[in-house]
Protein backbone atom coordinates (compact mmCIF):
# COMPACT_ATOMS: atom_id res chain seq x y z
CA UNK A 1 0.00 0.00 0.00
CA UNK A 2 1.13 3.51 -0.84
CA UNK A 3 0.12 6.34 1.47
CA UNK A 4 0.87 9.90 0.45
CA UNK A 5 0.07 12.65 2.95
CA UNK A 6 0.16 16.39 2.47
CA UNK A 7 2.99 16.40 0.00
CA UNK A 8 4.45 19.72 -0.95
CA UNK A 9 7.25 20.55 -3.38
CA UNK A 10 8.86 23.90 -3.92
CA UNK A 11 11.61 24.62 -6.42
CA UNK A 12 13.39 27.51 -4.66
CA UNK A 13 10.41 29.73 -3.86
CA UNK A 14 8.17 28.34 -6.54
CA UNK A 15 5.39 26.13 -5.20
CA UNK A 16 4.69 23.31 -7.64
CA UNK A 17 2.81 20.76 -5.53
CA UNK A 18 0.74 21.42 -2.45
CA UNK A 19 -1.54 19.34 -0.24
CA UNK A 20 -1.18 16.18 -2.28
CA UNK A 21 -2.72 13.23 -0.43
CA UNK A 22 -3.86 9.90 -1.80
CA UNK A 23 -3.61 6.17 -1.27
CA UNK A 24 -3.09 3.24 -3.57
CA UNK A 25 -3.43 -0.43 -2.81
CA UNK A 26 -2.12 -3.58 -4.48
CA UNK A 27 -3.57 -4.09 -7.95
CA UNK A 28 -4.46 -0.43 -8.46
CA UNK A 29 -3.66 1.12 -11.81
CA UNK A 30 -4.12 4.86 -11.72
CA UNK A 31 -3.71 7.53 -14.39
CA UNK A 32 -2.18 10.91 -13.56
CA UNK A 33 -3.33 13.80 -15.73
CA UNK A 34 -2.95 17.56 -15.85
CA UNK A 35 -1.81 20.35 -18.13
CA UNK A 36 1.87 20.76 -18.99
CA UNK A 37 3.71 22.14 -16.00
CA UNK A 38 1.07 20.93 -13.51
CA UNK A 39 3.67 18.90 -11.63
CA UNK A 40 3.05 15.33 -12.85
CA UNK A 41 6.72 14.52 -13.41
CA UNK A 42 7.62 16.20 -10.12
CA UNK A 43 5.15 13.99 -8.24
CA UNK A 44 6.54 10.85 -9.89
CA UNK A 45 10.10 11.90 -9.02
CA UNK A 46 9.15 12.38 -5.38
CA UNK A 47 7.54 8.94 -5.31
CA UNK A 48 10.60 7.49 -7.05
CA UNK A 49 12.94 8.97 -4.37
CA UNK A 50 14.75 10.97 -7.06
CA UNK A 51 13.87 14.16 -5.14
CA UNK A 52 12.75 14.96 -1.63
CA UNK A 53 9.49 16.76 -0.86
CA UNK A 54 9.68 20.08 1.00
CA UNK A 55 6.86 18.83 3.23
CA UNK A 56 4.73 15.76 3.71
CA UNK A 57 5.13 12.06 4.11
CA UNK A 58 5.19 8.98 1.90
CA UNK A 59 4.81 5.44 3.23
CA UNK A 60 5.10 2.30 1.12
CA UNK A 61 4.02 -1.03 2.64
CA UNK A 62 4.61 0.40 6.11
CA UNK A 63 8.08 1.73 5.24
CA UNK A 64 8.65 5.45 5.53
CA UNK A 65 10.45 7.27 2.71
CA UNK A 66 12.12 9.48 5.29
CA UNK A 67 13.82 6.62 7.16
CA UNK A 68 13.79 3.50 4.95
CA UNK A 69 15.11 4.84 1.65
CA UNK A 70 17.19 1.76 0.79
CA UNK A 71 14.36 -0.71 1.29
CA UNK A 72 11.97 1.59 -0.53
CA UNK A 73 14.19 1.78 -3.61
CA UNK A 74 14.15 -1.99 -4.04
CA UNK A 75 10.38 -1.88 -4.26
CA UNK A 76 10.10 0.81 -6.89
CA UNK A 77 10.30 0.71 -10.66
CA UNK A 78 10.58 4.15 -12.23
CA UNK A 79 10.71 4.99 -15.92
CA UNK A 80 11.33 8.65 -16.71
CA UNK A 81 10.14 10.02 -20.01
CA UNK A 82 13.56 9.97 -21.64
CA UNK A 83 14.72 6.51 -22.68
CA UNK A 84 17.77 5.16 -20.88
CA UNK A 85 18.94 2.17 -22.89
CA UNK A 86 22.04 1.44 -24.96
CA UNK A 87 21.36 2.13 -28.61
CA UNK A 88 24.36 0.28 -30.06
CA UNK A 89 23.64 -2.91 -28.11
CA UNK A 90 21.06 -5.60 -28.78
CA UNK A 91 17.97 -6.19 -26.66
CA UNK A 92 19.72 -9.20 -25.13
CA UNK A 93 22.84 -7.20 -24.26
CA UNK A 94 20.77 -4.44 -22.71
CA UNK A 95 18.83 -6.93 -20.61
CA UNK A 96 22.00 -8.69 -19.45
CA UNK A 97 23.65 -5.38 -18.62
CA UNK A 98 20.75 -4.03 -16.57
CA UNK A 99 20.20 -7.40 -14.91
CA UNK A 100 23.71 -7.09 -13.48
CA UNK A 101 22.85 -3.70 -12.00
CA UNK A 102 19.53 -4.93 -10.66
CA UNK A 103 18.72 -5.90 -7.05
CA UNK A 104 17.47 -9.27 -8.18
CA UNK A 105 19.26 -12.03 -10.14
CA UNK A 106 17.55 -13.16 -13.32
CA UNK A 107 18.60 -15.92 -15.68
CA UNK A 108 18.94 -15.24 -19.37
CA UNK A 109 15.74 -17.21 -19.94
CA UNK A 110 13.86 -15.11 -17.42
CA UNK A 111 15.11 -11.94 -19.10
CA UNK A 112 13.97 -13.25 -22.43
CA UNK A 113 10.58 -14.23 -21.04
CA UNK A 114 10.05 -10.76 -19.55
CA UNK A 115 10.57 -9.33 -23.04
CA UNK A 116 8.23 -11.85 -24.63
CA UNK A 117 5.55 -11.07 -22.02
CA UNK A 118 5.72 -7.48 -23.24
CA UNK A 119 5.58 -8.68 -26.87
CA UNK A 120 9.12 -7.55 -27.46
CA UNK A 121 10.50 -10.30 -29.68
CA UNK A 122 13.64 -8.80 -31.27
CA UNK A 123 16.07 -10.35 -28.79
CA UNK A 124 19.12 -10.28 -31.06
CA UNK A 125 18.54 -6.91 -32.70
CA UNK A 126 20.40 -3.72 -31.90
CA UNK A 127 18.21 -1.20 -30.14
CA UNK A 128 18.87 1.45 -32.77
CA UNK A 129 17.01 -0.63 -35.36
CA UNK A 130 13.87 -0.92 -33.19
CA UNK A 131 10.75 1.20 -33.50
CA UNK A 132 10.00 3.82 -30.84
CA UNK A 133 7.34 1.54 -29.39
CA UNK A 134 9.75 -1.39 -29.04
CA UNK A 135 12.36 0.83 -27.37
CA UNK A 136 9.74 2.01 -24.94
CA UNK A 137 8.82 -1.61 -24.18
CA UNK A 138 12.46 -2.45 -23.51
CA UNK A 139 12.77 0.47 -21.12
CA UNK A 140 9.66 -0.74 -19.29
CA UNK A 141 10.87 -4.34 -19.11
CA UNK A 142 14.16 -3.17 -17.60
CA UNK A 143 12.26 -1.40 -14.82
CA UNK A 144 10.59 -4.74 -13.99
CA UNK A 145 13.80 -6.76 -13.56
CA UNK A 146 13.81 -6.45 -9.76
CA UNK A 147 10.08 -7.19 -9.50
CA UNK A 148 9.00 -3.86 -7.96
CA UNK A 149 5.69 -3.52 -6.13
CA UNK A 150 5.20 0.10 -7.22
CA UNK A 151 5.66 1.15 -10.85
CA UNK A 152 5.96 4.83 -11.72
CA UNK A 153 5.85 5.61 -15.41
CA UNK A 154 6.19 9.02 -16.99
CA UNK A 155 4.29 9.06 -20.28
CA UNK A 156 5.06 5.44 -21.21
CA UNK A 157 2.86 5.54 -24.30
CA UNK A 158 3.51 9.00 -25.72
CA UNK A 159 4.55 9.25 -29.36
CA UNK A 160 4.53 5.57 -30.27
CA UNK A 161 2.50 3.54 -32.74
CA UNK A 162 -1.00 2.43 -31.83
CA UNK A 163 -0.12 -1.28 -31.75
CA UNK A 164 2.71 -0.86 -29.22
CA UNK A 165 0.59 1.54 -27.26
CA UNK A 166 -2.28 -0.93 -27.01
CA UNK A 167 0.08 -3.77 -26.09
CA UNK A 168 1.79 -1.71 -23.41
CA UNK A 169 -1.59 -0.65 -22.01
CA UNK A 170 -2.94 -4.15 -21.73
CA UNK A 171 0.34 -5.43 -20.31
CA UNK A 172 0.31 -2.76 -17.59
CA UNK A 173 -3.28 -3.63 -16.81
CA UNK A 174 -2.41 -7.30 -16.41
CA UNK A 175 0.63 -6.49 -14.23
CA UNK A 176 -1.71 -4.71 -11.86
CA UNK A 177 -4.52 -7.23 -11.94
CA UNK A 178 -2.58 -10.52 -12.10
CA UNK A 179 0.57 -9.64 -10.17
CA UNK A 180 -0.92 -7.11 -7.79
CA UNK A 181 1.47 -4.31 -8.69
CA UNK A 182 0.54 -0.71 -8.02
CA UNK A 183 0.92 1.40 -11.14
CA UNK A 184 0.80 5.18 -11.36
CA UNK A 185 1.41 6.62 -14.80
CA UNK A 186 0.97 9.84 -16.69
CA UNK A 187 -0.68 10.06 -20.06
CA UNK A 188 -2.54 12.53 -22.22
CA UNK A 189 -4.53 9.83 -23.94
CA UNK A 190 -8.01 9.83 -22.46
CA UNK A 191 -9.17 6.78 -24.44
CA UNK A 192 -6.29 4.76 -23.11
CA UNK A 193 -6.83 5.95 -19.56
CA UNK A 194 -10.54 5.13 -19.66
CA UNK A 195 -9.71 1.64 -20.90
CA UNK A 196 -7.02 0.59 -18.49
CA UNK A 197 -7.21 2.66 -15.29
CA UNK A 198 -9.28 2.06 -12.16
CA UNK A 199 -9.30 5.77 -11.44
CA UNK A 200 -7.57 8.99 -12.33
CA UNK A 201 -5.84 11.70 -10.38
CA UNK A 202 -5.96 15.17 -11.84
CA UNK A 203 -3.43 17.74 -10.69
CA UNK A 204 -3.08 21.42 -11.42
CA UNK A 205 -5.56 24.24 -11.43
CA UNK A 206 -7.15 23.62 -14.80
CA UNK A 207 -10.56 21.90 -14.34
CA UNK A 208 -10.48 20.75 -17.97
CA UNK A 209 -9.20 17.24 -17.17
CA UNK A 210 -11.51 16.65 -14.25
CA UNK A 211 -14.52 17.68 -16.31
CA UNK A 212 -13.49 15.61 -19.29
CA UNK A 213 -12.94 12.48 -17.27
CA UNK A 214 -16.16 12.91 -15.35
CA UNK A 215 -17.93 12.87 -18.71
CA UNK A 216 -16.30 9.48 -19.33
CA UNK A 217 -17.77 8.20 -16.03
CA UNK A 218 -14.34 7.59 -14.58
CA UNK A 219 -13.63 8.08 -10.91
CA UNK A 220 -11.60 11.26 -10.80
CA UNK A 221 -9.93 12.74 -7.79
CA UNK A 222 -8.65 16.27 -7.94
CA UNK A 223 -5.41 16.14 -5.97
CA UNK A 224 -5.29 19.86 -5.56
N1 LIG B 1 14.31 20.90 -11.48
C2 LIG B 1 13.46 21.93 -11.55
N3 LIG B 1 13.80 23.17 -11.10
C4 LIG B 1 12.93 24.19 -11.14
N5 LIG B 1 11.68 24.11 -11.63
C6 LIG B 1 11.28 22.93 -12.10
C7 LIG B 1 12.14 21.77 -12.10
N8 LIG B 1 11.46 20.72 -12.62
C9 LIG B 1 10.24 21.20 -12.96
N10 LIG B 1 10.12 22.50 -12.65
C11 LIG B 1 8.92 23.34 -12.83
O12 LIG B 1 7.89 22.78 -12.06
C13 LIG B 1 6.65 22.81 -12.76
C14 LIG B 1 6.12 21.40 -12.89
O15 LIG B 1 6.93 20.66 -13.79
P16 LIG B 1 6.68 19.14 -14.13
O17 LIG B 1 6.61 18.38 -12.87
O18 LIG B 1 7.70 18.74 -15.12
O19 LIG B 1 5.22 19.21 -14.79
P20 LIG B 1 4.49 18.22 -15.81
O21 LIG B 1 5.23 16.92 -15.79
O22 LIG B 1 3.09 18.11 -15.29
O23 LIG B 1 4.51 18.88 -17.15
C24 LIG B 1 6.94 23.47 -14.10
O25 LIG B 1 6.56 24.80 -14.02
C26 LIG B 1 8.43 23.31 -14.27
O27 LIG B 1 8.95 24.38 -15.02
MG1 LIG C 1 6.13 15.79 -17.26
**Which ligand 1 atom sits closest to the C-alpha of 186?**
21
Spell out the per-residue pLDDT of the chain, length 224, in tens: 999 999 999 999 999 999 999 999 999 999 999 999 999 999 999 999 999 999 999 999 999 999 999 999 999 999 998 889 999 999 999 999 999 999 999 999 999 999 999 999 999 999 999 999 999 999 999 999 999 999 999 999 998 999 999 999 999 999 999 999 999 999 998 888 888 999 999 998 777 777 766 666 566 777 76
Q: Is the CB of 40 under 6 A from ligand 1?
A: yes
Q: Where are the domains of the chain?
A: 2-84+149-222
CATH topology of domain 2-84+149-222: Rossmann fold (3.40.50)
Q: Would you say 201 and 31 are in contact if contact means Cβ atoms under 8 Å apart?
A: yes
Q: Please report the pLDDT score of residue 211 as a whole number.
A: 72
User: Atom 4 of ligand 1 has which residue's CA nearest to it?
Assistant: 11
Q: Cα torsion at 179, 147, 49, 158 (round to 10°)?
A: -70
- The pairing of beta strand 150-153 with beta strand 2-11: unpaired
Residue 161: partners with Cβ closer than 8 Å, 6 or more residues away: 131, 132, 133
Task: Identify the nearest ligand to the CA of 201 by its number.
Answer: 1
pLDDT in tens, 162-172: 999 999 999 99
| Percentage of the chain lying above the pLDDT 70 cut | 96
pLDDT in tens, 105-140: 999 999 999 999 999 999 999 999 999 999 999 999
Out of 11, 17, 188, give the residue to mutate to test ligand 1, the one with the largest number of ligand atoms within 8 Å of its CB: 11
Closest C-alpha among 161, 168, 208 to residue 29:
168
Residue 143: partners with Cβ closer than 8 Å, 6 or more residues away: 77, 78, 79, 151, 153
Q: Residue 102 carries which DSSP code?
A: S
Q: How far is the CA of 83 from the centre of ligand 1 (A)?
A: 19
User: Atom 16 of ligand 1 has which residue's CA nearest to it?
Assistant: 39
Diameter over CA atoms, the chain = 50
Q: Would you say 157 and 169 are in contact if contact means Cβ atoms under 8 Å apart?
A: yes
pTM of the model: 0.93
Q: Is the CB of 204 under 6 A from ligand 1?
A: no
Cα distances (angstroms) measured from residue 149 to each of 87, 89, 163, 186, 215: 28, 28, 26, 18, 31
Task: Identify the nearest ligand to the CA of 38 by its number.
Answer: 1
Q: Please report the pLDDT score of residue 126 as a whole number.
A: 97
Amino acid sequence: MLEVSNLQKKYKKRLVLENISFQMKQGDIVGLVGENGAGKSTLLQLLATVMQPTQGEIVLDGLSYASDMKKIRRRIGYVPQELSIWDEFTVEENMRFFEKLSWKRRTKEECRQLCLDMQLTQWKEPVQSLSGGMKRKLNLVISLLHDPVLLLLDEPTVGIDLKSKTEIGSYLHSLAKKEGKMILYTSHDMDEITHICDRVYAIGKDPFYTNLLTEHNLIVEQLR
